[in-house]
Structure 1
Amino acid sequence: MSGIVVVGSANIDQVLRVERIPSPGETVLSHGLNTALGGKGQNQAVASARAGAETTFIGAVGADSFGEMVRTGLSADSIGVSQLRTTQKPTGTALIAVDGTGENTIIVEPGANSDVLVLTSADSAAISAASALVMQLEIPLQTVVEAARVAHAVGTRVILNAAPIQVLPQVLLENLDVLIVNEHEAAEMAKDNGLATELTGLGERLLTLVPTVIVTWGSKGASLHRVGTDEVLVPAHRVTAVDATGAGDTFCGAFAAGLVEGMLADDALRFAVAAASISVESHGAVPSIPLRAAIETRAKESRH
């Protein structure tokens, strides 16, 4: 087995720069609009590839100019696109407002992503041949469940970034090896499963569902939780954040890449935190994802 297969969404991001995120019913003026590659699946695939892992992407785009942008962009990062299908729906689109502190709000129109309803035999073969499967929740849940089953059955490591958060069926949880959530998603998942939602000890409580849990804490860093071992907390790097869009996806892709190449989970966590810290220093999702050399430099700086 080798490499990473990402099953997930591919969008085009329309990013609006605003002084502050509008409240309900409020209108604010934008002072800039950028169009860039995005979508959690595409972001994580690019992050994995730029971190050094052989990567294949399984998803869907529309027969439109945005779909061509996605296909061209993935190929430019040497990501396998033979399993990227084209459907009659338009390519997924995200409208993102980013304020002056780098915080954001996102509205997603799934478009072609909602057509990723089944896995083909070629999709299943690619997953079975991979070292790790990485997924999110911007495509139909039934496909996420199916992919997890295929991977788990042959020993491919299954990594789920449970975002956007929703209630997960037991059959999916049983097939996961690693769960990655931010603090808000972790609390919601704990609530959905009848667990206490207090932030203290949250990662350990989620271990009743999945054998390895990673919780990202924004500017506080990330924590790793495994059954029978102590929590590992990696503090965030001190940076000037301008845009948090895609930072979590950068973390997920880099962490998966680290695991696949043989890093210990602790080291992969540090590698991923370094990658995410670089991504928040630039605007956009895919445009801000760093290359391997930059990640290694940042990680080395933190050790000293």
Structure 2
Amino acid sequence: MSRVLVVGSLNADLVVRTERFPGPGETVAGEDLTVGPGGKGANQAVAAARLGAGAGVGVGMVGAIGDDDHGRTVRDAVAAAGADVDRVAVRAGTATGTAVITVDAAGDNTIVVSPGANATLGPEDLPAFDDVAVLTLCLEIPTPTVLAAARAAGTTVLLNLSPYAPVPPELLDATDVLVVNEHEAALLGEHPVPRSVVTRGAAGCEVHDADRDTVSTVEAMRVEPVDTTGSGDAFLAAVAVRLAAGDDLVDAARYAVRAGALAVTVAGAQLPPVGDDERIRFGL
């Protein structure tokens, strides 16, 4: 069995839907607050486990939570999706990470993250990478831990520069596939990662392969968005699963845009169970 390992964040998502986002100093009315599992790492692990179940791709999660109800909820959600959570550490006296999310009538979102226990995840928490086919990383955990994981992996490293922050050149040097959105790509500018995917929302994505001197455009599926929260995580997870299953990057991206399309048609940050109807409709 190929294996995807996610080293990343686990958060409780506090979500309020509203007709429109408030301006500076403005208060707007919202619907009832909902609390659910999230965090970029946890979202990716859930999506990878659900997408990989039929492809012989197992999933593991490395992260940190607080010893609180929020932490137990998000860890249990990752486990229920089929991912191994044995390396999710519990930090006594520390709160689980929290994301405050506002979703407007168009399904777009704004997100503010309080890292909590995610900020305590260190290189000493990393496992051996002997059975890992693809390692996925993002920036909701400390950058030194991300760099240590990328350097130690000895396998395909898939890095998502989200939430965007400047990173040391050594991290990009240790990355095999970089996944960024248009905004992140513009902030990053030139970079030494030979293979990358630039996501463009409803316009699909571009796959760049400097070694082959090619740029491939992958069109998105047209769907009616409900909530875009977590769609990028579903996309990244889908790329990881298909790379672990042996696809090339362009085919993995074609699969990932369909997984991302499914993700925006449901509310919440985590990809729901993928039934036969969804697999047929979205080509999964």
TM range (shorter): over 0.9
SS at match of 1:239: coil
- Secondary structure of residue in 2 paired with 1:268: helix
Deviation, 1:299, is: 4.3
Equivalence for 2:89: 85
Return the alpha-carbon distance in structure 2 between the equivalents of residues 45 and 249 of structure 1. Answer: 9
Q: What is the percentage of aligned positions where both structures have the same residue?
A: 43
**Structure 1: runs of 5 or more not aligned:** 196-205
Q: Aligned to 1:64, which of 56, 62, 68?
A: 68
Equivalent position of 1:111 in the other structure: 116
Q: Is the 8 A contact 2:49 2:82 kept in 1?
A: yes
Q: Using the alignment, how far apart are the partners of 2:276 and 2:30 within structure 1? A: 34
Determine which structure has the larger helix proportion and give its number: 1
Query: In the TM superposition, what is the alpha-carbon distance from 1:292 to its structure 2 partner?
Result: 7.1
Which residue of structure 1 lines up, in the alignment, with residue 163 of structure 2? 164
| 2:5 matched residue in structure 1 | 5
Aligned residues of 2:36 and 2:74 also touching (Cα < 8 A): no
Whether contact under 8 Å (1:222, 1:235) holds in the other structure is: yes
Q: Which residue of 1 aligns with 2:201?
A: 218
In structure 1, C-alpha distance between the alignment counterparts of 2:82 and 2:110, rounded to whole Å:
30
Distance 2:144 2:277 in 1: 37
Partner Cα separation in structure 2 for residue 294 and residue 40 of structure 1: 26
- How far does residue 11 in structure 1 lie from its aligned partner after superposition? 0.3
1:240 aligns with 2:246: no
**Aligned partners of 2:158 and 2:175 also within 8 Å:** yes
**Is 1:267 aligned with 2:251?**
yes
User: Structure 2 vs 1, CA of residues 295 and 266 (structure 1 numbering), >3 Å: closer, same or farther?
Assistant: farther
The Cα shift of 1:108 comes to: 0.5
- 2:264 corresponds in structure 1 to 280
Partner of 2:151: 149
**Deviations along 1:239-285, whole A, 9 cap, x unmatched?**
10011000000000011001101122221111100000011011111
1:231 equivalenced with 2:215 (yes/no): yes
Q: Secondary structure at the match of 1:176?
A: coil
Identify unmatched segments of 5+ residues in structure 2: none
Contact 1:270–1:299 (CA under 8 A) maintained in structure 2: no
The one-letter amino acid paired with 2:28 is: V
Separation in 2 of the partners of 1:85 and 1:105?
Answer: 28
Secondary structure at the aligned position of 1:245 is classed as coil
Distance 2:282 2:14 in 1: 31
Matching residue's letter, 2:222? R
More displaced 10-residue stretch of structure 1: 292-301 or 80-89: 292-301
Q: Which of 139, 149, 163 lines up with 2:141 in the alignment?
A: 139
Q: Structure 1, residues 43-95: CA drift from partner, whole Å, max 9, x if none? A: 01111111113100000000001111122111111211110001131011100
Give the count of matched residue pairs.
278
Alignment deviations for residues 144-176 of structure 1 (CA, whole Å, 9 cap, x no partner):
00000001xx3x100000001111101111100
What is the CA distance between 1:113 and its match in structure 2?
0.3
Q: Using the alignment, how far apart are the partners of 1:3 and 1:161 within structure 2? A: 18
Equivalence for 2:79: 75
Paired amino acid for 1:103: D
